[in-house]
Amino acid sequence: MENICNEEHNPLIKSKSQNGSNSNIHSLLYRSCSEYSNLWKIAAPSILTRLAMFSITVVTQSFAGHLADLDLAAISIACTVLISVTFGFMLGMASALETLCGQAYGAGQHRMLGVYLQRSWVVLSLASILMLPVFVFATPLLKLVGQPVAVAEQAGLVAVWLIPFHLSFPFQFTLQRFLQCQLKTAIVAWVSGAALAIHVLVSWVFVYRMRIGIVGAALSIGFSWWLSVLGMLGYTLFGGCPCSWTGFSAEAFVGLWEFFKLSLASGIMLALENFYYRLLLIVSGYMHNTEIAIDALSVCVTIYGWESMIPLAFLGATGVRVANELGAGNAEGAKFATLVSVVNTVLVGFIFWLVVVFFNKNLALIFTSSSSVIQIVNDLAMLLAFTVLLNCIQPVLSGVAVGSGRQAVVAYINIGSYYLVGIPLGILLGWFLPSSIVGMWSGMMSGTVVQTLILATITMRYDWEKEVRKAQILIKDEATSNQ
C-alpha cells in the first residue's frame, strides 16, 4: 500500500524538491509554466468549489430579494453579518489543515492527513457549538448595534433557521482542505457543482411551490451545504483516499491543544478579514431609507464576497504549494510558488475590476428589481471595483503565512491594519465627507492597503531556508509523538 501511495501522490513534489538542482538548467519560462500548472491544478477546482458554495447563498438572497425589500434586508444581514463572523472564523480554523496536511503530504507522511482531519473535526465542532448563541440571540444583538426593529426581528428569525448551515462548517471546510492537500480537488468541485444545481431547484420548491418564504430560503442553504458534506465524506470514507484515510484513530485526541492554538490564530485571521467590510451593513442601519441602504450595500458586499472566493482559492492553493515545498525541503520552490501566485491573482483581480466598472447595473439586477437600490449600487461601483482589486494580493500573502504556519502573525496584522487604522480613518472620513458611506468605505480601504504593504514586506524578508528547517522539525516531532 505504501508503494502505491508514493507512486500516486509524490510525482508533483519530486519534480520540484528532489530534482531542485535541475531547476537551474531550465529557463525561467519553463519554471514559470511548471509552477503555473501546479498552482492551477489546485486553484482552478478550488475556485469552482468556492464559487459554487458561495453561489448557494447568492441564489438564496436572489430569491429573497424578489419576495420583498424587508426579506432581502433580513437575509442579507443574517448572511453577510452573522454568518460572515462564524464563516470566517470556522474557515480560518480549518486552514490549519493547509499547514499540517500540506507539510505532511510534502514529507510523504500520508497517514497523518487522516489523523489531522479527525483532530480538526473535534476542535471545530466544539467551536461551532460555542458560537450558537450568535444565532439564538441574533435579534437583540442586531437591535443593540442599531438595526431597525423590523429588520432585526426578521433577521433573527432567519438566523435560527440558518443554524444547520452553520453546523456544516466544521466538516465542509476541513474535508475541502483534506482533499485539496492531496490534489484531489476535482471531486470537491464536482460535489459542489452538484450541490449548487440541486440548491436552485430546492430553493424554487421551498419559496414558490411550498410558499415557505424566507424560512424556506434559509433552510435550503443548510440542506445544500450538508449535501456537499455527505458527498465529500462518502468519497473519503469509502475508498477515495486509501493512503490518507486508514480509519478512525485515537490519535485524533492527541495534541488537541496545539492544534487548537494554531486553528484559533487562523480563525481570528480570517474572521477579522471577512467581517471587516460587512461593518458597512451595520453602519447603514443609521441611515435614512434604511431598508434601501441595507439592500444596496448588501448587493455590493455580496458581489465583493463572490469575487473574494477567487483570491481565497489562491490563498488555499498558495498555502498548499508553500507547505508542500517546505515539507519536501525545497526553499527555492516555496519562494517561487509565492511569486507565481501573486502574479496570477493580480491578473484575475484586474479582470474583475473591469467587470464591476462596466457591468455594475447588470450585477445589481441579479439581486433586485428596485430602481432605487440599483442606483445606489451604481454610485458605489467605483469603490467596489477598487476594493475588489486591492483584495487580490493580500489573500495570497496570507496563504504564504498559512503554508509556513504563521497564522498568528497575520491575525495581529489584521487587527492593527483593519481595526486600528481602517476603522478610525473610516469613521473620520465618514464624518467629514458628504456621503458617510463613501467616506467610511474609503477609510476602510486604507486598512487593506496597510495590511497588504505589511504582508508584502514580511514575505520579501522571509528566510526560506529557516522555514524549511522549521517545517522539518514540526513533521519530525509529530511523527515521534505518534509512535
Task: Give pLDDT tens digits for 77-87.
Answer: 777 667 777 88
Planar angle of CA 310, 75, 285, nearest 5 degrees: 100
CB 267, CB 410: distance < 8 Å: no
Report for 133-142, 228-237, 242-251, 311-320: range of highest mean pLDDT: 228-237
Name the percent of the chain lying above pLDDT 70.
84
Planar angle of CA 386, 390, 395, nearest 5 degrees: 150
Q: How much is the pLDDT for 195?
A: 93
Cα–Cα distance, 418 to 426 (Å, whole number): 10
Is the pLDDT at 299 greater than 90? The verdict is: no
pLDDT tens readout for residues 395-422: 788 777 766 667 677 778 878 888 888 8
Report for 75-84, 91-100, 364-373: range of highest mean pLDDT: 91-100
Q: How much is the pLDDT for 283?
A: 65
Q: Which band of pLDDT confidence, cut at 50, 70 and 90, is reported for residue 18?
A: very low
CB 90, CB 128: distance < 8 Å: yes
CB 166, CB 150: distance < 8 Å: no
Q: How much is the pLDDT for 13?
A: 40
CB 93, CB 127: distance < 8 Å: yes
Is the pLDDT at 166 greater than 50? The verdict is: yes
Is the pLDDT at 181 greater than 90? The verdict is: no
What lies within 8 Å, CB to CB, of 230 at 6+ separation is none
Q: Which of 111-120, 373-382, 451-460 has the lowest mean pLDDT?
A: 373-382
Give the pLDDT mean for 435-446: 79
Is the pLDDT at 8 greater than 50? The verdict is: no
Instruction: Report CA Rg, the chain.
Output: 22
